[in-house]
């Protein structure tokens, strides 16, 4: 049994995440939405979701004194980053004319429009990348258990993660280019999509997380 904390820094639909986790996490004693560093430190597992702009996210984390709690959690216990909760684990983001992030991993967050053609012409893509798209699994990870290769997940984003550490890449997605849509190392798993909005595949991933001990070796 375990306590799962969902980090609340004032951005994102946290209640949809909580409801989805409650639906699948029979093994959890308690699921809480919290902005308390002490409660995050006391919890067994952490979900770090989020939406919105990188600068707003980092400003909120600083004001709430959550940076250390998040980094400590990512170093010590099962940790799931969702959307912005994946992006701000990197060094920097191009968003908001450049934003310094948590620098937990080497790499950056880049704008689709700097790499692909945007618009209605043939071969171009629309930004933001919004809707269903598939993830190609790049690691044999416990959180992929029961999720078929090329399963569809729900995305809403204009920026994507560029990993400097190739071994981090746990999933990739094509949208005008092939980008990293999931990363994993040790006790951390993070993804650009929204598992709480991703029907069967997303619920399976959240169920896997609720049972995960932080070991990244699949059975």
Query: Is residue 194 among the annotated active site residues?
Result: yes
3-state SS of 161-177 is EEECCHHHEEEEEECCC
pLDDT in the model for residue 216: 81
pLDDT in the model for residue 152: 98
Query: Is residue 157 among the annotated active site residues?
Result: no
Q: Which residue out of 83, 101, 157, 193 is catalytically annotated?
A: 83
Query: Is residue 115 among the annotated active site residues?
Result: no
Q: Which residue out of 110, 141, 193, 196 is catalytically annotated?
A: 196
**DSSP secondary structure of 26-71:** TTEEEEEEE--HHHHHH-SEEEE---S-HHHHHHHHHHTT-HHHHH
pLDDT in the model for residue 1: 61
pLDDT in the model for residue 128: 94
User: What is the gyration radius of the CA atoms in the chain, in angstroms?
Assistant: 16
pLDDT in the model for residue 41: 96
Instruction: Return the structure tokens found at 200.
Output: 């069967």
pLDDT in the model for residue 116: 78
Average confidence (pLDDT) per 10 residues, the chain, 219 residues: 89 87 82 95 94 92 96 97 96 95 97 83 84 97 98 97 95 96 98 97 96 82
Q: Which residue has the tokens 């012409």?
A: 121
Q: Which domains does the chain have, with CATH numbers?
A: 2-211 (3.40.50.880)
pLDDT in the model for residue 217: 72
Q: Which residue out of 129, 141, 157, 194 is catalytically annotated?
A: 194
Instruction: Return the structure tokens found at 24.
Output: 């699948």
pTM score above 0.85: yes
Collapsing DSSP to helix, strand or coil, 95 comes out as helix
Q: Where are the beta strands (DSSP E) in the chain?
A: 2-7, 28-34, 45-48, 79-82, 92-93, 99-100, 107-111, 129-134, 136-137, 152-157, 159-163, 169-174, 178-185, 188-191
């Amino acid at each position: 049994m375990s306590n799962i904390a969902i980090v609340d820094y004032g951005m994102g639909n946290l209640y949809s995440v909580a409801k989805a986790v409650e639906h699948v996490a029979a093994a959890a004693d308690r699921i809480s939405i919290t902005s308390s560093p002490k409660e995050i430190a006391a919890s067994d597992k952490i979900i770090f979701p989020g939406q919105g702009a990188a600068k707003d996210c980092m400003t909120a984390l600083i004001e709430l004194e959550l940076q250390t709690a998040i980094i400590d959690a990512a170093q010590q216990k099962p940790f799931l980053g969702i959307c912005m909760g994946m992006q701000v684990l990197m060094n920097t983001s191009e968003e908001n004319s450049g934003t310094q992030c948590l620098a937990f991993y080497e790499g950056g967050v880049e704008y689709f429009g700097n790499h692909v053609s945007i618009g209605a012409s043939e071969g171009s893509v629309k930004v933001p990348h919004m809707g269903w798209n598939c993830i190609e699994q790049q690691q044999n990870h416990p959180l992929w258990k029961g999720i078929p290769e090329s399963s569809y997940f729900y995305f809403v984003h204009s920026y994507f993660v560029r990993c400097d550490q190739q071994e981090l890449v746990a999933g990739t997605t094509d949208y005008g280019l092939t980008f990293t849509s999931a990363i994993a190392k040790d006790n951390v798993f993070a993804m650009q999509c929204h598992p709480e909005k991703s029907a069967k595949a997303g619920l399976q991933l959240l169920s896997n997380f609720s049972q995960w001990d932080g070991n990244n070796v699949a059975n």
